[in-house]
Chains A and B, each alone.
Chain A
Amino acid sequence: MVALNITGLTADWMAAKWLLWIGLYVALGICVPWALTRAWANQHQSTMQPHLIKQLFQHGELGLVGLMLAISVVWDLQKSQYLSYTIALGSVFLAMCGIMSGSVWVESYCRRSSGIRFTPERAWRDSRSLAFLVFSLAVVTEILLDRFAKVAAQ
């Protein structure tokens, strides 16, 4: 009876592994760089105080995190047992969102390099919105992949 419960709990935990996977991206892609910046500022007794994540990613760097996330989900989709039509549709759409997300940083870099009017507020807002879009798409795609893997295994 106890063994059955453990099996049930393990199954539930495995079903929620997409949550851990997405959490890794948030932790390693956003929280760790922020913590490292604070540690660096403390160590060097710098006046720079990046209290907010906004300050750290003000040039649209979150867009790059979104692009990385999109690549990883496209890779997972390619490895799945979905039919080629579904894989193609999902991959193209995720790749498009990833590119749009990454292009916020590219545009920001081009504007800063060429001296054309650059607004950090706008770069932060755009990159945050598009990274959030990629993030939510990635979560749902991983849930769908998890469901399909269970069905295919039966």
Chain B
Amino acid sequence: MSTSAAAPALAKPELAKEARRTVAIRLADPAIMLANVSLLFGLLLVLFPTSFPRIILENWQNARLTPIMILFSVSLSLGLYLRVAHRRAAKPGLLAAACLGSVPVIVLAVLNFVLQATIAHTFSGDLSNVPARVDEEILAHTFFALIAAIFAPFLIIRVAQQFRRTDS
């Protein structure tokens, strides 16, 4: 009788400890969402081959593209992280959240500079049909940058988890 009464009492702290566990991220977690974003981009490109690229180019010319991409990637990453934490009944980590908030901004800012260099290089070269080429370069950059901005923080978190596990 006393043993059976002690068991729940022992189990409670264990359960509490279990509940306080920080969420562990696997790369497969963001993969499906990234694949869906990528397929949506491709679908819009196929269904609206002129208007969808034009929207992207207009936003880029008005300097609105990078802030929109930052907002989109950060909210998507944080939403996914919280969903994974909720599904696994684990606590979201502060460092991971900071990483998810800052890495997409850094990635997109750096890639924006790369895009500027790409465009300058295109205009300086002796190429045919330069304006159309620049439009296509911007389109490709937008796609790769968007996917990289969502994937990079999860990759960093995963690698950090691996190191932490090795250390302990």
Contact = CB atoms under 8 A, between A and B. Distances in A.
A and B pair up: yes
Interface in B123-147: 128-129, 132-133, 135-137, 139-141, 143-145, 147
A143 interface: yes
Nearest to A130: B31
Interface stretch (A30-38, A50-58, A78-86): A78-86
Contacts of A100: 27, 155
A146 to B, nearest CB: 10
Contact of A89 (B45, B46, B111, B155): B111
A151 interface: yes
Interface in A53-89: 82-83, 85-86, 89
A137 interface: yes
A136 B117 contact: no
B163 to A, nearest CB: 16
Interface stretch (A2-10, A40-48, A90-98, A110-118): A90-98
Contacts of A137: 35, 38, 147
Interface residues of A, number: 29
Interface residues of B, number: 39
B39 A136 contact: yes
Contact of A82 (B28, B41, B137): B137
Contacts of A17: none
Interface of B: 26-28, 31-32, 34-36, 38-39, 41-42, 45-46, 49, 111, 114-115, 117-118, 121-122, 128-129, 132-133, 135-137, 139-141, 143-145, 147-148, 151, 155
Interface of A: 82-83, 85-86, 89-90, 93, 96-97, 100, 104, 125-126, 129-130, 132-133, 135-137, 139-140, 143-144, 147-148, 151-152, 154
In the complex, the 10 A-B pairs of residues with the closest C-beta atoms, listed nearest first: A129-B31, A140-B42, A126-B28, A129-B28, A136-B35, A136-B38, A133-B31, A85-B118, A133-B35, A151-B132
